[in-house]
Structure 1
Amino acid sequence: MSIAAETVNANGGSHQKFLLQSFPLFSGACISPLTVAYTTYGKPNADRNNFVLVLPGTSNTRHGALLHIGPGRAFDTGRFCVVSIDAIGGGDSTQPGDGLGVDFPPYSVADMVLAQHALALHLTKGSPLAAVAGASMGAFQALEWVVRFPHLVSAAVLLVPAARAGQLFKETVRQMRRIIELDPAWQSGNYRSNPIAGLRAAGHHYFPWTVTDAYLESVTPETLAEDTQAVADNFALWDAWSLIRRYEASSQFDISAGRGSLDNVLANIRARLLIMPCHQDRLLGVDSAKMIHRLAPKSDYVEIDSLRGHLAWRPIAESKETRLIWRTVSQWL
């Protein structure tokens, strides 16, 4: 399987949608109505305090972490009721591609978490969550959860995380948008047909930053073409404004925004954190993950060694990275 492919087989889960008639964003804009799609695996216990929220990466849907979910895996459905969520702006949740396009308001990671909070209260009936978890932008959301709602979540699993998006990621996202805008179908953002060629080109641009130079040099040309095409194909499944708004939200993440110094924000986290960066991650780097570990009072740190870089979190059956994640997360939870 290509390391860039997303698993979309969600057999065994219960697909549901949560509706908010009106959802105000932190910007002052409003989404009316807002639908949040999710899939549950496993069953809630009598106290409804065994829910684990699994939150998506930037271009992932709620199915992206499916192979991490199940008996004996990272998120064990024999112990937990695992809820995999489509964040605002993607998957089957409300997004620009539903019709608003350019008029869909920009949103933030904090907005995603606020909507998830409403869903969580609906599911748990007010009981605390067992944990929140995610990779990349999913880790951004998990970190936002433990800072914004410390009374509702006592543990978070952060895969390939950062406390704020770095300049490399920000510039990569800016270039992706410029590439999409070069497609003649873009029509200054008022397109009648999705600019597929631009989306595919943006995917080709993005992929090399998600892995390492050593990986790019170690695989065959055929495998490299397959990996790159998988990202291009994934991007082409997105509406252009949906993809742009999602990546802009991710690239603007900063857990300290509006909260004072980054050091103080991290030092005041009360939840237990499991921090699992990849040593070779160049998209988000590893220094920010080390800072989270250094400052968060109750954190554990396990570094992944992988030429797959930022994509080391992606579940691939029998890979050493996936085995490490399953073993470490299941034991830690």
Structure 2
Amino acid sequence: MIRVGLLLLLSLSVLPGAWAQTSFPAPVEGDVVVKNFRFKSNEVLPELRLHYRTVGKLERDAQGKAKNAVLVMHGTGGSGAQFLRADFSERLFRAGGVLDATKYFIVLPDGIGHGKSSKPSDGLRAGFPKYGYRDMVEAQHRLLQELGVNHLRLAMGTSMGGMQTWMWGELYPDFMDALMPLASLPGPISGRNRVWRRVVIDAIRNDPEWQQGNYKQQPPSLRTAEQMLFLMGSNPVIRQQQMPTLQKSDEVLDKYVSDALKTADANDLLYQVSASRDYDPAPGLEKIKVPLLAINSADDLINPPELQILEREIKRVPKGKAIVIPLGPETVGHGTHTIAKVWDQHLAALLKETERR
């Protein structure tokens, strides 16, 4: 989810008190602190705080194996809170929903560097360990262990979380019954996907006012970075409808950036976008044992279907399937991954296919 996994969710955060009005059990928030967490860079953080939200209650089978746990991973710049938006949670977590929270135990973690988990802006700034996606997945695994989850009914994620879903299937192939990555590709960050990330990274790193991460106020390059995130986040049809004139285009863009700058931090964003450097599940796709359903949308500027990467690589996943949802009135570009009504019927079919009998 580039800030809904970066994008759509910036202005749609969940407010305290809103949970009481939902049609599903109230989320429970908490933190797990991992002592002396060693990153793949060999850096060590004495205390890594992992924030999470859970919805529902964990159930086990007669052998003590968790049987109803669902892990949902967010995108770049997001947090687990984004999945409490009505168009996701009210559709999926409600009674009778595909992920009915009276039946499932849903875990919504904040990834390293995101939300209320440990991140550069907590104080270490550019001294924070240089984390990658592999570190984030390992931390998620540690979090689940602390929560008593020794098996997943389903692992799914959006954008960055979708990419980490592929990694879960390779790194912990026996840990889940099913996988559903959304808005992602099973290959390295390359081409235009790398270019927009480099624009963000270079804008911040080459800004004299960034001061090697020790700025006293946010550097001007953060504005350029936010503009790039806006550019990549939606489809051209919606943008044209929103911004039919030059004046309206400037107005909408300026409003988005102004709102984003109220909470954004240059170091946090730099780390978040840079973390994708170690992502490449392509060499190990055959290691994925369980049924995997990958869902993308045809209007996703970050993962365009004309590349044919998903269609080609899914054939290497033993039990893999892929669906590309066509452009339509309910798709919103990359952020379609969080509009559950567009794809929840496919999730229902995956859960039915992988039901324990």
2:302 to 253, 275, 283: 283
1:192 aligns with 2:206: no
Match of 1:54 in 2: 72
Query: Which residue is 2:317 aligned to?
Result: 296
Aligned pairs for 1:119-138 within 5 A? 119-124=143-148, 126=150, 128-138=151-161
- Count of equivalent residues: 317
Q: Is the 8 A contact 1:281 1:309 kept in 2?
A: yes
Contact 1:97 1:242 in 2 (8 A): yes
**Corresponding residue of 1:18:** 32
Structure-2 separation of matches of 1:289 and 1:6: 30
CA contact (8 A) 1:39 1:85 kept: yes
- TM-score of the superposed pair, with normalisation by structure 2: 0.81
In 1, Cα distance between equivalents of 2:213 and 2:241: 39
Rate the CA distance shift 1:142–1:6 in 2: closer, same or farther, 3 A.
farther
1:94 maps to 118
- Normalised to the residue count of structure 1, the TM-score between the two structures is 0.86
**Displacement after TM superposition at 1:273 (Å):** 0.8
State the Cα distance separating 1:236 from its structure 2 match: 4.7
Residues 126 and 212 in structure 2, CA contact (< 8 A), matched pair in contact too: no
Gaps of 5+ in 2: 1-6, 20-25, 352-357
CA contact (8 A) 2:72 2:106 kept: yes
Determine the structure 2 residue equivalent to 1:240: 266
Distance in 1 separating the partners of 2:31 and 2:273: 23
Question: Measured at CA, do residues 223 and 327 of structure 1 come closer, stay the same or move farther in structure 2, by a change above 3 Å?
Answer: farther
1:213 aligns with 2:232: no
Q: Percent identity?
A: 26
Distance 1:133 1:225 in 2: 36
Alignment of 1:303-322 (within 5 A): 303-306=324-327, 308-315=332-339, 322=340
Instruction: Write the letter of the residue equivalent to 2:139.
Output: A
Q: 1:32 aligns to what?
A: 46
**Counterparts of residues 60-209 of structure 1 (less than 5 Å):** 60-67=78-85, 68-69=88-89, 70-71=93-94, 72-124=96-148, 126=150, 128-163=151-186, 164-181=188-205, 185-195=209-219, 197-209=220-232
Higher mean C-alpha deviation, range 220-229 or range 298-307: 220-229
Task: Show the counterpart of 2:288.
Answer: 269
In structure 2, give the amino acid aligned to 1:270: K
Structure 1: unaligned runs, 5 residues or longer: 257-261, 316-321
The one-letter code of the counterpart of 1:102 is: A
Query: Which residue of 2 is the match for residue 259 of structure 1?
Result: none
Q: Specify the SS of the correspondent of 1:64.
A: helix
Contact 1:73–1:326 (8 Å) recurs in 2: no
Amino acid at match of 2:298: H
User: Residues of 1 paired with 2:144 and 2:321: CA distance?
Assistant: 25
* Contact 2:137/2:167 (<8 A) preserved: yes
